[in-house]
Amino acid sequence: MNRTESFTGETLRVVRGTRSGVAIAVAIHSTARGPAIGGCRIKAYPSWRDGADDALRLSAAMTMKCALAGLPHGGGKTVAALPAEGWDPARRPGLIADLAEAIAALGGRYRTGPDIGTTSEDMAEIHRLEHGWAFCRPEEQGGSGTSSAATARGVLAALQAGVSPGSVAGLRVGVIGFGSVGRLICQSLLERGAQVVVTDVDGGLRPLAERLGATWTTADLVREPLDVLVPAATGGLLTAESAAACGASLIVGPANNQIADEDVATVLRDRGITWIPDVVASAGGIIHAVGREELGMDEAAANARIDAIADTTSAVLAHARERGLTTVQAARELAAAG
């Protein structure tokens, strides 16, 4: 895993949970626009340092995501770095309490939400234990619920802007990751007349994908000739090698940190492949949560704000074109200006 070379954030706090024994890193990248927000990830890492690095990288991305979405927040992230093996799931309740304690220790400068390895129910428990700094609790408990549908909606808005003025009907779209967001994206693309090819490491999802009308493949979709590639699994999919072999014209998806490093964005630009940065495309979930839980928006207002990701996408693509920038450089400049 690449090390984060420079520390551009405000706070990195690493503690060992007293109940779980797990290393927990909470990174606050920025509170300049308001309290930092970002999900809480529970995942196995080769070492706690790798977990802390992930928290730093993901918190910086959250700052850009919030700024581009016009939210009154900066970026933060929590990572609980499980040992690569030997973790006893019976210790999970203790870990959730440790996470609540680690987040509460930051005194409200950081608010969390679900991410890989955590659920709305975990947020309800963190919210209860730390007195109210967790988004996306179940709706019946006063939260805005799971963010998957909102995230999928935002990706579709970005995708539509990326193919504009064309339509998705008839396009060949490859989706990597048939999880909670990926399958909603597939469903919507199929309804709009796209030809959808899907892959997932979990082969048990194949019948569901085929029932929806998608084609299942075990091929490496990054290398397939596609109109659109949708990364909807884990991050780091696009490396210098895979970008050089990529067969898609447009890449847009919810997966966080899709490019291994920024040189990859240059390779994609130079090959004429349009990559819509994940900080733009994946903001639907956070827009929905903040809109509903903090800004007093109803569902229609939150959805309208998510659909505006199309305008942000068009602005980023135009800025990149006009200045000869990569799309991530363009997104960073627009985020700093906003």
Catalytic-residue membership of 77: yes
Q: Please, which residue, 97 or 178, has the CB nearer to ligand NAD?
A: 178
The verdict on 239 binding ligand NAD (CB under 6 A) reads no
Nearest by Cα to 256 from 238, 225, 282: 282
Under the criterion CB under 6 A, does residue 234 sit at the interface with ligand NAD? yes
Q: Identify the active-site residue in 77, 109, 111, 288.
A: 77
Stretch in the footprint of ligand NAD (CB under 6 A) among 160-168, 231-239, 264-272, 312-320: 231-239
Q: Using the rule CB under 6 A, is 147 a contact of ligand NAD?
A: yes
Rounded CA gap, 13 and 106, in Å? 9
Smallest distance from ligand NAD to CB 129, Å = 23
What would the x/- binding string for ligand NAD be over residues 270 to 289, using CB under 6 A? ------------x--x----
How far, CA to CA in Å, does 302 sit from each of 60, 150, 186, 299?
24, 9, 22, 5
- Alpha-carbon distance of 226 to 196, in angstroms, equals 10
Q: What is the Cα–Cα distance from 172 to 193, expressed in whole angstroms?
A: 10
Closest residue to bound ligand NAD by CB: 179
x/- map, 91-130, ligand NAD, by CB under 6 A: -------------------------x--------------
Query: Which residue in 67, 103, 176, 251 binds ligand NAD (CB under 6 A)?
Result: 176
Burial of residue 138 (number of CB atoms within 10 Å: 0-12, 13-18, 19+): middle
List the end-to-end C-alpha distance of the chain, in Å, as a whole number.
32
Contact 224, 174 (CB under 8 A): yes
The single residue among 26, 181, 297, 325 that binds ligand NAD, judged by CB under 6 A, is 181
Rounded to whole angstroms, the Cα distance separating 225 from 269 reads 17
Is residue 20 involved in binding ligand NAD (CB under 6 A)? no
Provide the token pair at 97.
């309490």
Cα dist. 115→3, 16, 22, 185 in Å? 21, 20, 17, 18
Find the part of the chain contacting ligand NAD (CB under 6 A) among 24-32, 165-173, 253-261, 323-331: 253-261
Known catalytic residues are 77
Q: Which residues bind ligand NAD (CB under 6 A)?
A: 116, 147-148, 151, 176-182, 199-202, 232-235, 254-256, 282, 285
